[in-house]
Structure 1
Amino acid sequence: MALAVGLGRLARRGGQGLLDALLPPHCLACDQPVLDQGTLCGGCFAGLHTIVAPLCYNCGLPFEHEGQGEDELCPACLARPPAFERARAAFLYNDAVTRLILPLKHGDRTDLAGPLARWMAAAGSALLEEAEVLVPVPLHRRRLFTRRYNQAALLALRLGRLAGRRVLPDALERVRSTPSLGPLGAERRRAVLASAVRTRPRAAPRLAGRRVLLVDDVLTSGATAGACAEALLAAGAARVEVLAVARVADPRSAPPGH
C-alpha cells in the first residue's frame, strides 16, 4: 500500500514537471514567471491586503484600530443588524484583487476559482467549520446566459471540495433583474433588491434547520448578501453566514456590478 501511494506521488510530480516544462508557470495576475503553477509573483501578492482583526463581528468591515466599534459592531450594523450573522472576506478590495476577480467574472478565467477559494478557506475557516451547506449568490438568468457561468457558484464548489461540505449551486434564484448597484447607497441597494431573490422550492427541504454559508466574490454594503440571507431564512435555514473573496471598505467606492 505504501509503495502504491509513493508511486502515485511520483507520478503526480512527474506529470506536474512535464506541465511546467510545456507551460512554464506564470503569475495568476500578470505575466511574470513564478516557481509554481497557480501562484502569484511577489509584486502581485504584496498588493493584496489581508483582512484581519479588528473588524466588525457582523459584516466583517475592518476597523482602523482596536476599540473603534461599539460592542465589536460598526455603526451600520448597530443601526440595522444584517440578516446574516457573520460575514468575512479574504482581502480588502483594491486594484490588486481586482486583477484576480474581474478575469474570473468576465474573462473566462475559471482557473482562478481554485486559488481564490483556498484564500477564502483560510480567511473563513471558522465559518466553514460550522457550516453545513454552501450556497452561492445567484445571477439573473439573462446575466448567466451572457456570462455562461456563475463565478460565485465556481467558488462555492471549490470551497465545498476543500472543506468537505455539501454545495447547493442553484438553491437561490434571482427572479428579477436588477441594475448595477455600484453608485447606490445602502438603503437604495436594499430597496432595489427587495423581493429580487428567492429560494427554489425544491431546495427548501435541504436548507431547513441547516447552517448555511453564502458564497460571493465581493461584499460591498451587504445588501445582496442580506437579501439572499432573508430568502434562506424564510426557507427554514437555521443561520446564514457569508464568505467572500474581497470586502469593499467604503461602499461608495463599490466596483461596477456590486
Structure 2
Amino acid sequence: MNRLVRHLRDGVAPLVDLVYPPRCPLCGCAIASQSGLCADCWSELRIPGEPACATCQRPLEGTAAQDGAVCAVCLAKPPKHDGIAAGTLYSDGSRKLVLSLKHGRRIALAPLMARLIAARLPQLEGEWIVVPVPLHRWRLWSRGFNQAALLAREIARLKGAKLVVDGLLRTKRTPMLGGLGKRARARVLAGALAAHPQRLAEIEGAQVILVDDVLTSGATSDACVGTLKRAGATKVIVACFARVLDEVDGHAPVPQTETPGALTPGVP
C-alpha cells in the first residue's frame, strides 16, 4: 500500500508542480520541490551541532568537549527528562516557521519541521510511543488544531513509533506564560496536566517521545514529563522544533515579555 501511494504521488507530482509551481513557504521564492525551503531561508535556521551536552543536547563551547560531557545546567539540577532533541535553535528562521504553522495555519509545514526534529532524535531501541504536549479543549476548538499533535503524527510515522495523540490532557485552562519566570510558570501549570485515564495502560512501562513546537523555559515540558513518569513511563525524551537558549547568540532574541510559542496576543 505504501509503495502504491508513493507511485501515485510521484506520478502526479509533475502535474501539481505545473499547476502550483514550488515556492518557498517563507519567502515565496521559486524552489525545486514542494517540500523544502529556499537556500536563503535554510540559512536562517540554526541547526544544533556538536559538541553538545550528553543529557540535554545543549551546545557546549569549544571543540575539546569529550563524549559524555554534561553541561553546567544539567549538573546543577539534573533534569526530569531523559534527553532533548531540538530540530533547531530559536532564531529568525525558526520563529517564522513556528508562527506560520501555529498562527498562520500553514499545517503543510508540519512534515518539514518534523523531519528536522526526527533527525536529532537518538537511535531508538525497543518500542516507543509519541505523545504531543496537549492544548486545553477551549484553545483547541478556537485554533482548530494542535500544532504539537501535527508534529507528533509525522515523527511517529518517520520513526515507526505509535502515536498516542491524547496521552496527556490539559485539565485546566492556563493564562499566557509570557513574562513569567520558570517558578511562576510551574505554579501556573500545577494541576493543569493529567494522563488520559483511557491511555494509562499504553503509558505504563512505555518509552515516550514528548513533542512540542517550542521549548522555552522547560516549565511545560517538565510538567508533562512529571505527569508521564507518575503514570509509569520509564523514559521520556523531549522533542521540539525550536529550542530557546539564552546563552546562544541567536538572531532573534526573545523579549522578556513574551514566549516564542505565544506571540499572538490572547493565543498562548
Is TM more than 0.5 here? yes
Match of 2:95 in 1: 98
Contact 1:49 1:91 in 2 (8 A): yes
1:187-220 alpha-carbon deviations (Å, 9 max, x no partner)? 2222222221110111110111111110111111
Contact 2:149 2:165 in 1 (8 A): yes
**Are residues 12 and 177 of structure 1, via their aligned partners in 2, closer, same or farther at CA, if it must alter by over 3 Å?**
closer
Match of 1:52 in 2: 49
Matching of residue 27 in structure 1 with residue 15 in structure 2 = no
Match of 1:165 in 2: 161
**Are residues 9 and 67 of structure 1, via their aligned partners in 2, closer, same or farther at CA, if it must alter by over 3 Å?**
closer
2:41 is aligned with what amino acid?
C
Match of 2:35 among 24, 35, 38: 38
Contact 1:193 1:227 in 2 (8 A): yes
Per-residue deviation, 1:72: 3.0
In 2: Cα distance, 1:185 partner to 1:74 partner = 21
Per-residue deviation, 1:66: 4.4
Match of 2:120 in 1: 123
In 1: Cα distance, 2:238 partner to 2:156 partner = 14
Per-residue deviation, 1:177: 1.8
Match of 2:14 among 11, 17, 31: 17
Matching of residue 202 in structure 1 with residue 198 in structure 2 = yes
In 1: Cα distance, 2:243 partner to 2:126 partner = 21
Contact 2:45 2:89 in 1 (8 A): yes
1:163 is aligned with what amino acid?
K
The count of aligned residue pairs is: 251
**Are residues 239 and 111 of structure 1, via their aligned partners in 2, closer, same or farther at CA, if it must alter by over 3 Å?**
same
Q: Structure 2 regions of 5+ residues with no counterpart?
A: 248-252, 263-267
2:217 is aligned with what amino acid?
S
Match of 2:111 in 1: 114
**Structure with the higher helix share, 1 or 2:** 1
Match of 1:219 in 2: 215
Per-residue deviation, 1:52: 1.2
Match of 1:248 in 2: 244
1:68-111 alpha-carbon deviations (Å, 9 max, x no partner)? 79x73333322322211111201010111111111111111110
Contact 1:204 1:235 in 2 (8 A): yes
In 2: Cα distance, 1:90 partner to 1:8 partner = 27
Match of 2:128 in 1: 132
**Are residues 121 and 184 of structure 1, via their aligned partners in 2, closer, same or farther at CA, if it must alter by over 3 Å?**
same
Contact 1:61 1:247 in 2 (8 A): no
Query: In percent, how many aligned pairs have the same letter?
Result: 42
In 1: Cα distance, 2:64 partner to 2:184 partner = 30
In 1: Cα distance, 2:117 partner to 2:144 partner = 23
Match of 1:187 in 2: 183
**Are residues 195 and 68 of structure 1, via their aligned partners in 2, closer, same or farther at CA, if it must alter by over 3 Å?**
farther
In 1: Cα distance, 2:152 partner to 2:236 partner = 15
In 2: Cα distance, 1:154 partner to 1:10 partner = 24
1:196 is aligned with what amino acid?
A
1:10-68 alpha-carbon deviations (Å, 9 max, x no partner)? 65433100000000000121210101111100100011110012223333322232467
**Are residues 55 and 191 of structure 1, via their aligned partners in 2, closer, same or farther at CA, if it must alter by over 3 Å?**
farther
1:248 is aligned with what amino acid?
V
In 2: Cα distance, 1:34 partner to 1:145 partner = 35
**Root-mean-square deviation over aligned CA pairs:** 2.3
* Farther-moved stretch of structure 1 (113-122 vs 242-251): 242-251
Match of 2:265 in 1: none
**Are residues 123 and 8 of structure 1, via their aligned partners in 2, closer, same or farther at CA, if it must alter by over 3 Å?**
closer
**Are residues 143 and 84 of structure 1, via their aligned partners in 2, closer, same or farther at CA, if it must alter by over 3 Å?**
same
Contact 1:190 1:224 in 2 (8 A): yes
Per-residue deviation, 1:130: 5.4
